[in-house]
Structure 1
Amino acid sequence: MHAKDVIPRAALAGAVAGLVSWVFALLFAEPLIQAAIDYEADRGAAEEALDAAAGIAPPAEGPEVFTRTVQGVFGIGAGMVLTGIALGLLFAVVYTLLQGRVAVRPRVLALLVAGAGFLTLYATPFLKYPANPPAVGHDETIGDRSALFLVMVVGSVVVLVVAVLVARAVRARVGTWNAALVGGLTYVVLAGVLMAVLPSLGELAANVATYGPAVGETPQPLRDPAGRIVFPGFDPDLLYSFRLYALTAQVLLWGLLGLVFGALAERATGRSDADAAEREAVEV
Structure 2
Amino acid sequence: MLYDYLRRGVQAGVIAGLAYGLFMAFVANPLSEYLHHAQHDHGHDHGHGHDHAHAVSETTTAIVSVGSGVLWAIFLGGVFAIALYFLEPALPGRGAGSAFVLAGAGFLTVSATPWLVLPPAAPGAEQLYTVELRLAVYVGLVALGALVSVAAIGSYGRVASRHRALGLVAATVPIVATTVVLSTVAPTIVSHPELAGELVSAYQAMAALSQAAIWAILAASVSWLERREATSTAGVVGPNDRRSTSS
TM, length-normalised to structure 1: 0.67
Superposition pairs of residues 30-179 of structure 1, within 5 angstroms: 30-39=29-38, 68-69=57-58, 72-102=61-91, 104-138=93-127, 141-169=130-158, 174-175=162-163, 177-179=165-167
Offset of 1:91 from its aligned partner? 0.8
Residue deviations 1:18-75, cap 9 Å, x none? 1101111211111122233345567899xxxxxxxxxxxxxxxxxxxxx733652122
Residue in structure 2 matched with residue 218 of structure 1 by the alignment: 192
1:18–1:83 CA contact under 8 A, matched in 2 = yes
Contact 2:91-2:101 within 8 A present in 1 as well: no
Report if the CA contact (8 A) 1:28-1:245 is conserved. no
1:262 aligns with 2:223: yes
Distance across 2 between alignment mates of 1:268 and 1:26: 32
Q: For 1:169 and 1:255, how far apart are their aligned partners in 2? A: 25
Instruction: Give the whole-Å Cα distance in 1 for the aligned partners of 2:43 and 2:139.
Output: 30
Aligned-partner SS, 1:99: helix
* Correspondence for 2:16: 17
Distance change (3 Å), C-alpha of 1:195 and 1:241: closer
Mark the CA change 1:74 to 1:146 in structure 2 (over 3 Å): closer, same or farther. Answer: farther
Residue of structure 2 in register with 1:193 after alignment: 181
Match of 2:235 among 264, 270, 274: 274
8 Å contact kept, 1:11–1:85:
yes
Unaligned runs of 5+ in 2: 45-55, 238-247
* Residues 20 and 252, structure 1, Cα contact 8 Å, conserved in 2: no
Deviates further, 23-32 or 186-195 = 186-195
Alignment RMSD (CA, Å): 3.1
Q: Which residue of 1 aligns with 2:199?
A: 238
Calculate percent identity across the aligned residue pairs: 25
Q: Tell me the distance in 2 between the aligned counterparts of 1:159 and 1:103.
A: 16
Unaligned runs of 5+ in 1: 46-66, 202-215, 220-232, 277-284
- The 8 Å contact of residues 19 and 77 in structure 1, kept in 2 or not, is answered as yes
Q: 1:255 Cα deviation (Å)?
A: 1.5
**CA positional deviation for 1:175:** 4.7
Deviations 1:182-214 (A, max 9, x none): 23213322443344444332xxxxxxxxxxxxx
1:71-108 alpha-carbon deviations (Å, 9 max, x no partner):
52122222211110111111112211233455744222
1:210-263 per-residue CA deviation (whole Å, 9 max, x = no partner) reads: xxxxxx6112xxxxxxxxxxxxx3233432332222122213211211111110
Classify the secondary structure of the residue corresponding to 2:121: coil
Q: Does 2:181 align with 1:181?
A: no
Using the size of structure 2 for normalisation, the TM-score is 0.76
**CA distance 1:199–1:110, change in 2 (3 Å):** same
Between Structure 1 and Structure 2, how many residues are aligned?
A: 227
Verify the 8 A CA contact 1:156 1:191 in the aligned structure 2.
Answer: no
Q: Is the 8 A contact 1:39 1:135 kept in 2?
A: no
Quick check: which has more Rg, 1 or 2?
1
Question: 1:158 and 1:270, CA in 2 relative to 1: closer, same or farther beyond 3 A?
Answer: same
